[in-house]
């Protein structure tokens, strides 16, 4: 039976987004709520409430299923959450917990993979068989599409571009590693640099964005000051762009993608950061690979829910094909 809708859920470090999505990628209805901070069951409850809200008024047989993106390393075949740095979901059987309380099939995947899937199906990467997606947000996520397929690796956990080492013995990463891309570009990393800056004479603009309270300096304060032209704040983000460019040199040399899509809240707000990354990549990558095109994501905050919904449609259609 051909269903009309799927529900896509995108669980982020700061908010949970949900959408009711048509097959062609139109978001019919969507909602966003802050990610609860009261533990894993609070997060699961919020996901279920979002599903209920999205399914209101739609006949259950019209819904193909639910796709959920989590900021976690997921064993896609087992549908288990193996590791999760920014939320307390490691080892939590999110799929079964949701499945036991809803009327539809549930599939979970890494949020970066799903953002890439969204851009591939409906956005900036439509028709690109080889591309790399990076999402710059609370964490640095990403997804690889190679030869028209998401690359998942042996256990489905591949594509963690945010945890490539870009500096030996560099700053600590939330994952426990050192000198990873996320140690420079995740929100906590940018906030930490902002706090350091705000304590100095050059940090006035950043401090102003936090209403003069250094304990309130966060990544957004740095970004706002930078977008208003503050040089010191811009420098923090340009350094992030430089590090991102270096990481991309490695990826482009290794994979020879046609396209690099930069999404996520920080990636979309800071065009100058992306430009710096592109300059570094184009200057340093092996000749012949420098023509990889850079683009910002087209789907904005909807990339995750659209990718999750597309996954739910695919899973539904392959179940139907088996039954036929």
Residues at the contact surface with Zn ion, assessed by CB under 5 A: 163, 173, 175, 177, 180
Minimum CB separation of residue 175 from Zn ion in Å reads 3
Place of tokens 């079964």: 96
Backbone angles phi, psi at 126, to 5 degrees: -55, 125
**Is 4 or 167 the residue whose CB approaches Zn ion more closely?**
167
| Cα angle 16, 72, 44; round to 5 | 45
**Is 25 or 177 the residue whose CB approaches Zn ion more closely?**
177
| Cα angle 197, 241, 272; round to 5 | 90
**Is 163 or 187 the residue whose CB approaches Zn ion more closely?**
163
CB 15 within 8 A of CB 303: no
Give the residue nearest to Zn ion (CB): 173
**Is 68 or 185 the residue whose CB approaches Zn ion more closely?**
185
Minimum CB separation of residue 123 from Zn ion in Å reads 27
**Is 164 or 309 the residue whose CB approaches Zn ion more closely?**
164
Q: Which residues contact 47 (CB under 8 A, 6 or more apart)?
A: 9, 11, 16, 18, 68, 94, 98
Task: Give the pair of three-digit tokens for residue 8.
Answer: 């896509």
Rounded CA gap, 164 and 251, in Å?
10
Minimum CB separation of residue 210 from Zn ion in Å reads 26
Minimum CB separation of residue 138 from Zn ion in Å reads 13
Minimum CB separation of residue 283 from Zn ion in Å reads 26
Rounded CA gap, 58 and 282, in Å?
49
Minimum CB separation of residue 105 from Zn ion in Å reads 32
180: DSSP letter: B
Helix or strand run (H / E) with residue 32: strand 27-34
Minimum CB separation of residue 98 from Zn ion in Å reads 27
**Is 163 or 224 the residue whose CB approaches Zn ion more closely?**
163
**Is 152 or 180 the residue whose CB approaches Zn ion more closely?**
180
Task: Give the pair of three-digit tokens for residue 320.
Answer: 């139907």
CA proximity to 17, closest of 192, 226, 264, 228:
264
């Amino acid at each position: 039976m051909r269903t009309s809708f799927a529900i896509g859920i995108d669980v982020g470090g700061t908010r949970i987004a949900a959408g009711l999505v048509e097959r062609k990628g139109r978001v019919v209805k969507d909602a966003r709520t802050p990610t609860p901070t009261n533990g894993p069951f609070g997060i699961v409850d919020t996901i279920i409430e979002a599903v209920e809200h999205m399914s209101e008024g739609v006949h259950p047989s019209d819904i193909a299923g639910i796709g959920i993106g989590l900021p976690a390393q997921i064993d896609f075949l087992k549908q288990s959450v193996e590791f999760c740095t920014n939320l307390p979901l490691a080892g939590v059987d999110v799929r079964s917990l949701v499945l036991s309380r809803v009327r539809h099939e549930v599939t979970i995947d890494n949020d970066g993979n799903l953002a890439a899937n969204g851009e591939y199906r409906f956005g900036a990467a439509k028709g690109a068989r080889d591309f790399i997606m990076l999402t710059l947000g609370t964490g640095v996520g990403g997804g690889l599409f190679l030869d028209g397929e998401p690359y998942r690796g042996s256990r489905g956990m591949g594509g963690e571009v945010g945890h490539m080492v870009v500096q030996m013995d560099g700053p600590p990463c939330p994952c426990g590693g050192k000198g990873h891309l996320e140690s420079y570009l995740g929100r906590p990393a940018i906030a930490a640099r902002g706090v350091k800056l705000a304590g100095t004479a050059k940090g006035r603009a950043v401090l102003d964005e936090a209403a003069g309270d250094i304990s309130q300096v966060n990544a957004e304060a740095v970004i706002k000051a930078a977008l208003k032209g503050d040089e010191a704040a811009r420098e923090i983000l340009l350094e992030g762009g430089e590090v991102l460019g270096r990481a991309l040199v490695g990826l482009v040399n290794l994979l020879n993608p046609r396209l690099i899509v930069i999404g996520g809240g920080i990636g979309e707000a800071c065009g100058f950061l992306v430009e710096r990354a592109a300059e570094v990549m184009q200057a340093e990558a092996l000749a012949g690979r420098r023509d990889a095109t850079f683009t910002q994501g087209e789907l904005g905050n909807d990339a995750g829910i659209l990718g999750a919904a597309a996954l739910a449609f695919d899973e539904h259609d392959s179940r139907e094909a088996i039954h036929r």
